[in-house]
Amino acid sequence: MGAEPLSNNHEHEHELALAQPHPPLVLGLQPSALVDHVARVDWSLLNQIPGEQGGSIPVALEELEYILKEVNAHVLSCPGDPSPVKTIAGGSVANTIRGLSSGFGISTGIIGAYGDGEQGQLFIQNMIFNGVDLSRLRKKKGHTAQCVCLVDALGNRTMRPCLSNAVKVQAGELTKEDFKGSKVVAFN
């Protein structure tokens, strides 16, 4: 599966993200880091998975893994796209923060928690690549939330998030220091 960006030195990158000289102007509060697996698929796969096409229905980790396995058999080819599945940091807050940073050059950061596995590293890598300050992001033992985003030939999205066992930052863990110096907080 594709990931953005790929690097061999994850810990060093996270240290660089922590070394921001000034607090970010805009902070995003997303309690659980989330990784999206986005793929263009044919309707036959959409007919095999539970729930309506075009909706978002939570699934267990086993269901998410099954869907990801099936994606390769049902992927729609896109000219010039080397990877059938694009794996990126996701969630409405992370998408907003990443877009403000990479698209507009606005200083951004995110508050939340990510898991200690591969998906957590993918979240970290993608946010660093896009210039997001991660100094307020907590690493915890456990899983990072994931969502399979299946896109049909018409561009409609069918999403199956797996959030139930994901690590998250709790309200009691937040401090005034987390918000110090920032002007705007985005949350969902």
Query: DSSP string of 153-188?
Result: TT--EEEEEE-TTB----GGG--HHHHTT-SEEEE-
Computed over every residue of the chain, the mean pLDDT equals 87
Mean pLDDT value across residues 56-72: 91
| pTM across the whole model | 0.84
Confidence band (pLDDT; 50, 70, 90) for 16? very low
53 versus 106: which is more confidently predicted? 106
Confidence band (pLDDT; 50, 70, 90) for 72? confident
Mean pLDDT value across residues 26-41: 96
The answer to whether 163 touches 138, Cβ cutoff 8 Å, is no
Query: 12 pLDDT exceeds 50?
Result: no
CA distances from 32 to 29, 85, 111, 146 (A): 9, 22, 9, 10
**Residue that has been written with the tokens 């080819």 in this structure:** 77
Least confidently predicted of 6-20, 35-49, 97-111: 6-20
Query: 161 pLDDT exceeds 80?
Result: yes
Percentage of the chain beyond pLDDT 90 is: 66
| Strand-by-strand arrangement of the 26-32 sheet | 137-140, 108-115, 26-32, 184-187
